[in-house]
Amino acid sequence: GAGVSQSPSNKVTEKGKDVELRCDPISGHTALYWYRQSLGQGLEFLIYFQGNSAPDKSGLPSDRFSAERTGGSVSTLTIQRTQQEDSAVYLCASSSPTSGVETQYFGPGTRLLVL
Amino acid sequence: AQSVAQPEDQVNVAEGNPLTVKCTYSVSGNPYLFWYVQYPNRGLQFLLKYITGDNLVKGSYGFEAEFNKSQTSFHLKKPSALVSDSALYFCAVSAPSGGSYIPTFGRGTSLIVHP
């Protein structure tokens, strides 16, 4: 498909386990964002990748959170030793600055539930 | 730091009536302003953006928004609401020239259109 895809769509895990969330951006998009959306909250910025530049990790809430982007395409968000407060919808977005100012295209999200 | 306020958690409107979803912002430098819509269990979809030029911006699904610099507002409007417009609406701001290129999102406003 032509849009941003994310997997899994839903993830249920036990407290203390590690989880990996995957994002496939739109082909050719150089910018990739991760956000967290909690119930009743707006979007909380987590991390931003742009081309080959060092990622902006300023939004990561703790050192249990990390993300990689391999080959400038697919990204993986890893949460280690999950806590119940990590339960949220994790959204990925990509954009192509060359096509205009930062219009973001969002994936459907991964709904994470930590028991 | 840049910020966005959506003062209404919920807006109720009857089908066929005009609707307004409010957004105000605070940013250093010239703002780039966005509206996104989120339907249930879906990712965010881009509606419209203001970068420069005409203060009235037209977007998808008959929506429009007016940039008001003096009031630092970017309210979303539609002349005649449809039941299918019921969704969660997010306003976002970025300011590459003086603030952050990473958009800051509001908490969202739930729009409910009654038949």
8-67 in A: which are within 8 Å (CB) of B?
A: 33, 35, 40-43, 45, 48, 56
> Across the A/B interface, how many CB contacts are shorter than 8 Å?
51
Residues 6+ apart with CB under 8 A from B77: B18, B19, B20, B21, B63, B64, B65, B66
Question: Of the candidates B46, B51, B107, which has its C-beta nearest A104's C-beta?
Answer: B46
> What average pLDDT does range A16-44 have in this prediction?
91
Domain boundaries, given as residue ranges, for chain B: 3-114
* pLDDT for B97: 66
The count of domains in chain A is: 1
Q: Are residues B9 and B19 in contact, defined by beta-carbon separation less than 8 angstroms? A: no
Asked if the B3-114 domain carries CATH number 2.60.120.10, the reply is: no
Q: How confident is the model at residue A46 (pLDDT cuts 50, 70, 90)?
A: very high
The answer to whether A70 and A78 have CB atoms below 8 angstroms apart is no
CATH number of the domain bearing residue A86: 2.60.40.10
Interface touch A91/B44, C-beta < 8 Å = yes
| Per-residue model confidence as pLDDT tens digits over A57-104 | 989 999 999 999 988 799 999 999 999 999 999 999 998 866 555 688
Give the percent of chain A with pLDDT over 70.
Answer: 93
* Phi, then psi, of A72 in degrees rounded to 5: 70, 15
Q: How many angstroms away from the CA of B25 is the closest CA of chain A?
A: 15
Q: Which residue of A has its CA nearest to B35?
A: A103
Give the pLDDT band of residue B98 (cuts 50, 70, 90): low
Q: Which helix (H) or strand (E) holds B48?
A: strand B44-50
Spell out the residues 6+ positions from residue B75 whose beta carbon is closer than 8 angstroms to its own.
B20, B21, B22, B23, B65, B66, B68
Q: Using an 8 Å CB-CB cutoff, list chain B residues near A4.
A: 43
- The shortest CB-CB distance from B102 to any of A48, A103, A109 is to A48
- DSSP, res A86: G
Structural domain containing residue A41: 5-114
User: ∠ at Cα A89 (A78, A97), nearest 5°?
Assistant: 75
pLDDT for position B21: 98
The answer, for A102 touching chain B at a CB cutoff of 8 Å, is yes
Tokens 């400038």, residue?
Answer: A72
Cα nearest neighbour of B101 on chain A: A102
Could you give the CA distance from residue A96 to residue A38 in angstroms, rounded to a whole number? Answer: 26
3-state secondary structure of B4: strand
Instruction: Say if the Cβ atoms of B41 and A108 lie within 8 Å.
Output: yes
B104 contacts on A by Cβ (under 8 Å)? 45
Cβ neighbours around B50 below 10 Å, total? 21
Burial zone of A53 (CB within 10 Å; 0-12 exposed, 13-18 middle, 19+ buried): exposed
Q: Identify the residue among A32, A37, A56, A90 best suited for mutation to test binding to B, counting B beta carbons within 10 A and taking the highest.
A: A37
